[in-house]
A and B are shown apart, each in its own frame.
Chain A
Amino acid sequence: MNNVLVEMEGIEKQFPGVHALEQCRFELRAGEVHVLVGENGAGKSTLMKVLAGIYMKDAGRILVKGQEVDIHSPNAAQLLGISMVHQELNLMNHLTVAQNIFIGREPRAKIPYFLDEKKLNEQAQQVLDRLHLKLNPHTKVADLTVAKQQMVEIAKALSMNSQVLIMDEPTAALTDTEVDELFNIVRHLRDQGVGIVHISHRLEELKQIANRITVMRDGHYVDTLNAQDATLDQIISMMVGRVIYETAPEIPENPSQEIVLEVRNLNRGRLIKDVSFTLKQGEILGFSGLVGAGRTEVARTIFGADRLDSGEIYVKGKKVRIKTPTDAVKYGITYLSEDRKRYGLVLGMDVETNIVLATFQKFLAPLGWVKTPQTKQTAKRYVDMLAIKTPGLQRKAKFLSGGTQQKIVIGKWLTADTNILIFDEPTRGIDVGAKSEIYKLLNDLAHQGKSIIMISSELPEILRMSHRIIVMCEGRITANLSSAEATQENIMKYATKRGPLVGTNESNEPVTEFGNA
């Protein structure tokens, strides 16, 4: 037991109205990757934030290398060799890579308060080299892709010579290749004896990277398992404490042939090239492809959030011109953004307001008076219908978990009672239980006759949910598959099918845009 780096015992943490952590324990050894799993709100991040000095524990003991310690600030944690890479990127976009890595610990010149910029860049280069990262220390962080920014975060955490590295969902925003790159670095660090805590929602990653797995549920510690002994089903049932159907695909039948939305020859700069497709009533149409393939751009263009260069859109056979999102809603089209925090929710406002926000007009009496009984009733109906976990309608959205927030966004657009719903990564950053509830909801909506476009980067999700699957690559549609034809392998094949299709004459166009959109 000599290689135990961190022991946490009996950790308690209360937030107003929530018992976030109850008698939690955790153990981390040197040279292991310890994956922490659990549903949203299970307390994984909270527990790790206690360890990283961001939250103060109410009770319990933390031992680092057998010594009881008091971690009262991020600084104190850093001094103990504990650093954390946060879920939301915590970088200063206006500063360079080197300046970010050494923020707060800049090499100083001989004159007090003066910086030694040369040494700063040299040391940053050393850190980057050690991690085999091909990054220029002088590059501004704003100019990097999200994946590279993630790497900068990790470089920053490791530049402190950390022995404990906590990563809170580092892979949520990464593509598969980028995840591989990250995991290579993680393995490399593990072999150097660093203890790594990896918080993740992607269970398929467990086998790739984990040595041990700790499961948490509702603020409680459930169990710690050796990765090679544990099965996915076992872990999932420990996480949710109930049976859910994660693997069984269920594609509802779609008898209707009525076309509700048709898009013809949509073009927008280099992002969308000649995109045409149809959407039937009661259908779930999956949009697959790699990050930057142009799926979100197509959705935003149909929704009127971006302008199109050319192309035609027909709603129920009638040609329409959609210039703004307001037009789109008028034609019965809604779009649920992938970035719910930025575009989908007013985080500082309560559940009720968020739900009725899209259809506020309905609740207005003359002179702009708000009919509060009606808003309350409507909000309550959707909270019940979608099983939104909130202590009350007056709870501010920012205090709720990711899955709950996503449900509020869905509820908000359901009040608009539109027929065409575009979901952009509806389950990103959501735990397994909430995911399965969202899948059920989408199915129910389709059964009610709503037409759904679902953009998703997760292949199992696309395969499980869609009647038909459109695959995009570099702004073009490369395949239109029925659910019977589609497999993970052929979707990936079409998703990476670069360059022009046979019959087009743009073969000279260089393909440099990939992954950058």
Chain B
Amino acid sequence: MNPEIAPRTSLTRTLFRSDATQRLLAFAGLIVLIVVFSIASPYFRTETNFLSIALATAVNGVLALGVTFVIISGGIDLSIGTVMTFGAVMSAVFITNWNLPVPIGVLGGIGAGVLAGIANGIIIAKLKVPPFIATLGMLNVAKGLSLVISQVHPIYYPTAPEFNQIASGSIIGQIIPALPIPNAVLILIVAAAVASIILTKTVLGRYTFALGSNEEATRLSGVNVDVWKIAIYMVCGAFAGLAGVLIASRINSAQPALGQGYELDAIAAAVIGGTSLAGGEGTIVGTIIGAFIISTLGNGLQILSVPQEWQTVITGVIIILAVYLDILRRRAA
């Protein structure tokens, strides 16, 4: 008769309590989407189309990876869309304006994101500005800086034709011609693996969950909360910078006016994948599934000739539905 040893163990409860449930639901949702679209249109179920979905997922996916850390830690980062643009512009400045080698340009783009992330982290952790406001400010700062630096013009990569290959080439395709998976997708997979390792195996990951679960308790446990918060926003910024390099490479130019709105898709991907906006919960696999749901939905609806306006409406409904399911699950647990 020990109440702790004899919990209620009905199947539904076990199922609903498991952390994997939201991921499972999201994954099932993705499968349903694919099946429905495949039945609805023969154009959907082609290899080329699947590749284009994967390619469309890459940029949003990388952004979502970063913001997953921030959301699990109980914060939010609204600046990732324009920080991505800032990264793209900086890579172009390094490569085109300063004529530096492509790898330096790539590092420059990521570095720009890292700097923005560190700035976010310091403003939030040290100046105690709420994350929503701090990153809303950074959204504008990054957007403005991108426009100033580029003088409101797109910057191209005439001196480095190979830059385009970063996202659009296919290393796998060169080795296995039957499998022309673009590098952007490969980069997403590698980035997701790295993110997953950081989140589950390292100190940073542990404190990301701890902060989101109970910040005060973490502080009282002697953890230097400020430093780790800055690190978390820095990781997020790094992924935003990487996304910037990817998008610049894909469209072969740094477009300074692009970017705003991307942050919301990335946050949506994380949330659909089961990351809790209240903090403390989330997985990389979930986020990737979430990102795929968003791009599959966009792609499928486009193929079915659903007007752009309605696609936006449907995406919105899906986001609300996903979060509602998550709330139901929590209530059951």
A residues contacting B by CB (< 8 A) are 54, 73-75, 78, 86, 90-95, 99, 103-106, 108, 113-115, 117, 143-145, 148, 156, 292, 511-516
Q: Is the CB of B201 within 8 A of A115?
A: yes
**Whole-angstrom distance between the alpha carbons of A514 and B217 in the complex?**
30
Q: Does B6 contact A (CB under 8 A)?
A: yes
Q: Which residues of A contact B213 (CB under 8 A)?
A: 92-95
Q: How far in angstroms is the closest Cβ of chain A from B154? A: 39
Q: Which residues of B contact A513 (CB under 8 A)?
A: 3, 8
Q: With contacts defined as CB atoms under 8 Å apart, how many contacts are there between chain A and chain B in the complex?
A: 83
Once A90-B217, A114-B201, A514-B1 are accepted as A-B contacts, the answer to whether A95 and B222 lie under 8 Å apart by CB is: no
Query: Which residues of chain B from 211 to 258 have a CB within 8 Å of any chain A CB?
Result: 212-214, 216-223
Which one of B163-171, B202-210, B301-309 contacts A? B202-210
Q: Is the CB of A92 within 8 A of B201?
A: no
Q: Is the CB of A145 within 8 A of B4?
A: yes
Q: Is the CB of B3 within 8 A of A93?
A: no
Q: Is the CB of B203 within 8 A of A108?
A: yes
**Whole-angstrom distance between the alpha carbons of A148 and B7 in the complex?**
14
Q: Is the CB of A115 within 8 A of B7?
A: no
**Whole-angstrom distance between the alpha carbons of A326 and B190 in the complex?**
55
Q: How far in angstroms is the closest Cβ of chain A from B130? A: 15
Q: Is the CB of A54 within 8 A of B280?
A: no
Q: Is the CB of A94 within 8 A of B4?
A: no
Q: Is the CB of A94 within 8 A of B202?
A: no
Q: Is the CB of B203 within 8 A of A94?
A: no
Q: Is the CB of B203 within 8 A of A113?
A: yes
Q: Is the CB of A99 within 8 A of B220?
A: no
**Whole-angstrom distance between the alpha carbons of A516 and B17 in the complex?**
16
Interface size class for chain B?
20 to 34
Once A92-B209, A512-B8 are accepted as A-B contacts, the answer to whether A104 and B222 lie under 8 Å apart by CB is: yes
Among A93, A95, A105, residue most surrounded by chain B Cβ atoms (within 10 Å)? A95
Q: Is the CB of B202 within 8 A of A104?
A: no
Q: Which residues of A contact B263 (CB under 8 A)?
A: none
Q: Is the CB of B3 within 8 A of A145?
A: yes
Q: Is the CB of B3 within 8 A of A104?
A: no
Q: Which residues of B contact A91 (CB under 8 A)?
A: 214, 217
Which of A78, A93, A512 meets B214, CB within 8 Å? A93
Query: Which residues of chain B from 138 to 159 have a CB within 8 Å of any chain A CB?
Result: none
Q: Is the CB of B210 within 8 A of A95?
A: yes
Among B216, B219, B221, residue most surrounded by chain A Cβ atoms (within 10 Å)? B221
SS class of chain A's interface: helix, strand, loop or mixed?
loop
Q: Which residues of A contact B3 (CB under 8 A)?
A: 145, 292, 512-516
Q: How far in angstroms is the closest Cβ of chain B from A47? A: 17
Q: Which residues of A contact B1 (CB under 8 A)?
A: 511-512, 514
**Whole-angstrom distance between the alpha carbons of A117 and B203 in the complex?**
11
Specify the chain B residue showing the minimal Cβ separation from A52.
B220
Q: How far in angstroms is the closest Cβ of chain B from A332? A: 31
Q: Which residues of B contact A515 (CB under 8 A)?
A: 3
Specify the chain A residue showing the minimal Cβ separation from B210.
A92
Q: How far in angstroms is the closest Cβ of chain B from A287? A: 21
Q: Is the CB of B203 within 8 A of A92?
A: no
Once A90-B217, A94-B209, A514-B3 are accepted as A-B contacts, the answer to whether A115 and B203 lie under 8 Å apart by CB is: yes
Q: How far in angstroms is the closest Cβ of chain A from B211? A: 9
Q: How far in angstroms is the closest Cβ of chain B from A456? A: 21
Q: Does B281 contact A (CB under 8 A)?
A: yes
Q: Which residues of A contact B201 (CB under 8 A)?
A: 114-115, 117
Q: Is the CB of B218 within 8 A of A103?
A: yes
Q: Is the CB of B202 within 8 A of A114?
A: yes
Q: Is the CB of A113 within 8 A of B202?
A: yes
Q: How far in angstroms is the closest Cβ of chain A from B270? A: 16
**Whole-angstrom distance between the alpha carbons of A91 and B213 in the complex?**
8
Q: Which residues of A contact B6 (CB under 8 A)?
A: 512
Specify the chain A residue showing the minimal Cβ separation from B201.
A114
Q: Is the CB of B220 within 8 A of A90?
A: yes
Q: Is the CB of B217 within 8 A of A516?
A: no
Q: Is the CB of B206 within 8 A of A115?
A: yes
Query: Which residues of chain B from 1 to 28 have a CB within 8 Å of any chain A CB?
Result: 1, 3-4, 6-8, 17
Besides A103-B206, A105-B222, 18 other A-B contacts (C-beta < 8 A)? A75-B222, A78-B222, A86-B220, A93-B214, A95-B209, A95-B210, A103-B210, A113-B202, A113-B204, A114-B201, A115-B202, A143-B17, A156-B221, A292-B3, A512-B8, A513-B3, A514-B1, A516-B8
Q: Which residues of A contact B17 (CB under 8 A)?
A: 143
Instruction: List the 10 closest pairs (A to B, CB-CB), nearest first.
Output: A92-B213, A94-B280, A90-B217, A94-B213, A75-B222, A104-B223, A515-B3, A104-B221, A103-B221, A104-B222
Please, could you name 8 A-B residue pairs with CB atoms under 8 Å apart, sorted by A? A92-B217, A92-B218, A103-B223, A104-B221, A106-B203, A512-B3, A513-B3, A516-B8
**Whole-angstrom distance between the alpha carbons of A95 and B200 in the complex?**
12
Q: How far in angstroms is the closest Cβ of chain A from B149? A: 33
Q: How far in angstroms is the closest Cβ of chain A from B48? A: 41
**Whole-angstrom distance between the alpha carbons of A115 and B281 in the complex?**
19
Q: Which residues of B contact A511 (CB under 8 A)?
A: 1
Which of B204, B206, B220 meets A54, CB within 8 Å? B220
Q: Which residues of B contact A516 (CB under 8 A)?
A: 3, 7-8
**Whole-angstrom distance between the alpha carbons of A156 and B222 in the complex?**
12
Q: Is the CB of B280 within 8 A of A99?
A: no
**Whole-angstrom distance between the alpha carbons of A114 and B17 in the complex?**
28
Q: Is the CB of A93 within 8 A of B223?
A: no
Q: How far in angstroms is the closest Cβ of chain B from A72? A: 12
**Whole-angstrom distance between the alpha carbons of A86 and B216 in the complex?**
11
Q: Which residues of B contact A148 (CB under 8 A)?
A: 4
Which of B206, B218, B280 meets A106, CB within 8 Å? B206
Q: How far in angstroms is the closest Cβ of chain B from A204? A: 25
Q: Is the CB of A144 within 8 A of B4?
A: yes
**Whole-angstrom distance between the alpha carbons of A93 and B201 in the complex?**
19
**Whole-angstrom distance between the alpha carbons of A95 and B19 in the complex?**
12
**Whole-angstrom distance between the alpha carbons of A143 and B18 in the complex?**
11
**Whole-angstrom distance between the alpha carbons of A514 and B4 in the complex?**
10
